[in-house]
């Protein structure tokens, strides 16, 4: 498995947490959402950004084997 695959799998894992509304994987975001009057929906829209980042990683970084 190459490093690009590992990172995109991590992004997919993060996205699965965010889509369930579980932000504990992002402690700073979780603290912000529980300690203020912010609109949680705005911050939980990061799902698309995570997907876009995964696409860019696949495109911008050619496959390199883990050493």
Residue 65 lies in a domain: no
Query: How far apart, in whole angstroms, are the C-alpha atoms of residue 56 and residue 62?
Result: 11
What is the CA 17 to chain-centroid distance, rounded? 9
The answer as to whether 19 is a domain residue is: yes
When divided into structural domains, the chain yields a total of: 1
Position 67 in a domain: no
Structural domain for 22, as ranges: 3-60
CA distance 9 to 20: 17
Backbone angles phi, psi at 39, to 5 degrees: -80, 105
Note the pLDDT tens digit of each residue in 5-19: 888 899 999 999 988
* Residue 66 within a domain: no
pLDDT tens-digit series, residues 23-61: 888 898 888 888 777 776 776 678 888 899 988 887 888
Name the pTM for this structure.
Answer: 0.70
């Amino acid at each position: 498995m190459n490093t690009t695959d590992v990172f995109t799998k991590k992004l997919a894992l993060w996205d699965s947490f965010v889509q369930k509304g579980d932000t504990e994987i992002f402690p700073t975001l979780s603290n912000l959402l529980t300690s203020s009057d912010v609109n949680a929906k705005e911050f939980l829209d990061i799902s698309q950004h995570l997907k876009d980042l995964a696409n860019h990683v696949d495109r911008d970084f050619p496959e390199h084997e883990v050493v």
